[in-house]
């Protein structure tokens, strides 16, 4: 609850509010920092109405974590009997983000009301007796049995989807949400096309707040805004990561968003036995992008997509240098480049950039989509992982259609084609479509 002074300041125009703050003592200003309603933007405040769950579906930097933590703090400070579940993709993330993070429960607590954290018990206890317990969504059975009055689920779309663990964790949490007069929970997440999130969006008892990164730009470093615009701004995935839009699937596509989300690697490529770089050279100088994708093979036979080093509108010399740099940086043992368009030129340009480049030219005897189909099957069987999120590459993958057409961004799926060459070399061997040309 806000104090009268907090409510008064919140109602003032910005200029008058600044003047009022300047007249206060340091002690008064420090106390005001914990009046959340005074500083929050509208999307960070709980909606009115009789809802069971509040879903905050917004882009990165929106302030979702702070909103969830402040909601929990309000519940805990106002109800000594509150028993709150804090659920994240893992116990480590629950602790590092929800409890000990910069916007976590310990950091936002006012002096004298800070909860005591017992890591060994995964338990937070407020001075008035309210409690919160940490859980991992990867362990649904840990939520079977405990009862709660409230819950906070962080990065819901990131929860493990294998064997329906995300759905099982949510269901077990709901079945145990039976303490108090009005049990409620909040879920904070960046949108991703996963079954649990789509289910919540169709539920009548779920209040949804949507927002973008830019809703909170006043509290974000300018460098962050620039970096995410550079990384995601020109991609369809930018609509998801920045604008908070849930991207829909394209019927008939070889790859889906849900499939790609299920193959995120928990660790970057460790214990790799091979590293290959796939290259899809542009048809003309300063034309389409030169697709450059790095992939590795683990000892267990699983391939890992490590990096997208694609360069756009580059001269032959520039994209050749980019290939050579990627090969050196990743210590690749093979560079596989398509030679359909100017094979001798491709070889000579790459050799000029690095005469020792471990180069293999391949000739595409089938179209891009036909080459991509066996690689997409590797994803379906769980034999490929992505060591991160590759926005533009994944946009192109989701635009490759089983009927032979391309419905993705740009004129050509150059990044996707480079990925296909790399994974074909690693995983398909002699069964792959490309015919090897000696150079």
Q: Are 130 and 75 in contact (CB under 8 A)?
A: yes
Check: CB of residue 137 under 8 Å from CB of residue 87: yes
98 vs 226, residue with greater confidence: 98
Q: Is the pLDDT of residue 439 over 50?
A: no
Q: Specify the pLDDT at position 3.
A: 43
The enclosing H or E element of 350 equals: helix 343-353
Asked whether the predicted pLDDT for residue 199 surpasses 70, the reply is yes
Give the per-residue pLDDT at 437. Answer: 43
- Is the pLDDT reported for residue 438 higher than 50? no
Q: What is the mean pLDDT of residues 391-398?
A: 91
Beta-carbon count within 10 A of 319 CB? 26
Q: Mind listing the pLDDT tens digit for each residue in 304-332? A: 999 999 998 888 888 889 999 999 999 99
Q: Is the pLDDT of residue 80 over 90?
A: yes
Highest mean pLDDT among 248-257, 270-279, 345-354, 400-409: 270-279
- Determine the 3-state secondary structure of 327 from DSSP: helix
**Distance separating alpha carbons of residues 15 and 9, to the nearest angstrom:** 11
Residue 29 is predicted with a pLDDT of: 65
Q: What is the pLDDT of residue 431?
A: 42
- What pLDDT does 436 receive? 43
Write down the CATH number for the domain with range 257-437. 3.30.420.240
Give the residue with greater pLDDT, 234 vs 142: 142
- Of 3.20.20.210, 3.40.50.300, 3.40.50.720, 3.30.70.1070, the CATH number of 40-231 is 3.40.50.300
Q: What is the pLDDT of residue 410?
A: 79
40-231 matches 257-437 in fold: no
Q: For residue 103, what pLDDT is reported?
A: 93
| pLDDT score at 101 | 95
Lowest-confidence range among 131-135, 206-210, 385-389?
A: 385-389
Confidence band for 432, pLDDT divided at 50, 70 and 90: very low
| Kind plus residue range of the DSSP H or E element containing 93 | helix 91-93
Beta strands in 20-126 (DSSP E): 53-58, 83-88, 116-118, 123-125
What pLDDT digit, counting tens, does each position of 329-364 carry?
999 999 998 876 655 677 788 878 777 788 888 877
What is residue 397's predicted lDDT score, i.e. its pLDDT? 94
Q: Which are the contacts of 50, defined by CB distance < 8 A and separation ≥ 6?
A: none
Does 26 have pLDDT greater than 90? no
Decide if 357 contacts 383 (C-beta within 8 A): no
In the prediction, which pLDDT does 311 show? 93
* Residue 241 pLDDT exceeds 60: yes
Measured CA to CA, the distance from residue 383 to residue 397 in angstroms comes to 16
Band (12; pLDDT cuts 50, 70, 90)? confident
| Cα 332 from chain centre | 27
Which band of pLDDT confidence, cut at 50, 70 and 90, is reported for residue 365?
Answer: low
pLDDT of res. 207: 95
Please say if the pLDDT value at position 122 is more than 90. yes
Q: Residue 132: pLDDT above 80?
A: yes
| CA 103 centroid distance within chain | 18
Q: Which helix (H) or strand (E) holds 197?
A: helix 195-201
Query: Among residues of the chain, what percentage have pLDDT more than 90?
Result: 50
pLDDT band at 262 (very low <50, low <70, confident <90, very high): confident
pLDDT band at 2 (very low <50, low <70, confident <90, very high): very low
> Which range, 10-19, 26-35, 156-165, 229-238, is most confident?
156-165
| Residue 117 confidence (pLDDT) | 97
Band (pLDDT 50/70/90 cuts) for residue 8 is low
Q: What is the mean pLDDT of residues 282-301?
A: 85
C-alpha separations of 229 from 225, 242, 406 in Å: 6, 8, 25
Residue 114: pLDDT band (50, 70, 90) is very high
Mean residue pLDDT across the chain: 86
CA 96 to chain centroid, in Å, comes to 17
- In Å, what is the CA distance from 414 to each residue of 70, 281, 317, 348, 423? 45, 8, 18, 21, 14
Map out the domains of the chain as residue ranges: 40-231, 257-437
């Amino acid at each position: 609850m806000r104090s009268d002074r907090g409510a008064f300041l919140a109602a003032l125009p910005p200029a008058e509010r600044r003047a009022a703050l300047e007249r206060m003592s340091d002690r008064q200003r420090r106390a005001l920092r914990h009046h959340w309603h005074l500083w929050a933007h509208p999307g960070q405040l709980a909606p009115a109405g009789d809802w069971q769950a509040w879903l905050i579906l917004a882009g990165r930097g929106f302030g979702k974590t702070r909103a969830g933590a402040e909601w929990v703090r309000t519940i805990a400070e106002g109800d000594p009997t509150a028993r709150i579940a804090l659920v994240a993709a893992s116990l480590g993330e629950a602790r590092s983000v929800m409890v000990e993070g910069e916007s976590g429960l310990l950091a936002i607590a006012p002096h004298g009301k800070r909860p005591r954290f017992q890591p060994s018990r995964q338990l937070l206890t407020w001075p008035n007796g309210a409690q919160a317990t940490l859980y991992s969504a990867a362990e649904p059975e840990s939520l079977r049995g405990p009862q709660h009055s409230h819950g906070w689920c962080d990065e819901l779309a990131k929860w493990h989807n294998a064997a329906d663990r995300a759905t099982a964790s949510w269901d077990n949490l709901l079945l145990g949400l039976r303490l108090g007069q009005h049990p409620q929970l909040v879920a904070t997440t960046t949108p991703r096309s996963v079954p649990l999130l789509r289910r919540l969006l169709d539920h009548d008892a779920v209040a949804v707040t949507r927002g973008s990164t830019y809703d909170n730009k006043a509290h974000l470093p300018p460098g962050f805004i620039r970096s995410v615009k550079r990384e995601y701004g020109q991609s369809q995935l930018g609509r998801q990561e920045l604008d908070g839009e849930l991207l829909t699937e394209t019927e008939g596509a070889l790859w889906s968003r849900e499939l790609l989300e299920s193959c995120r690697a928990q660790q970057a490529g460790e214990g790799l036995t091979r590293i290959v770089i796939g290259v899809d050279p542009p048809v003309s100088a300063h034309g389409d992008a030169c697709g450059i994708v790095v992939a590795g093979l683990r000892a267990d036979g699983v391939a890992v997509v490590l990096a997208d080093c694609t360069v756009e509108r580059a001269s032959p010399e520039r994209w050749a240098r980019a290939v050579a740099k990627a090969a050196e940086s990743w210590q690749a043992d093979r560079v596989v480049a398509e030679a359909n368009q100017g094979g001798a030129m491709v070889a000579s340009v790459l050799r000029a950039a690095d005469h020792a480049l471990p180069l293999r030219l391949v000739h595409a005897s089938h179209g891009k989509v036909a080459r991509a189909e066996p690689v997409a099957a590797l994803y379906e069987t769980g034999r490929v992982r992505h060591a991160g999120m590759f926005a533009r590459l994944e946009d192109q993958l989701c635009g490759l259609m089983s009927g032979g057409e391309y419905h993705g961004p740009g004129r050509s799926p150059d990044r996707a084609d480079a990925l296909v060459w790399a994974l074909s070399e690693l995983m398909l061997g002699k069964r792959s479509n490309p015919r090897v040309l000696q150079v």
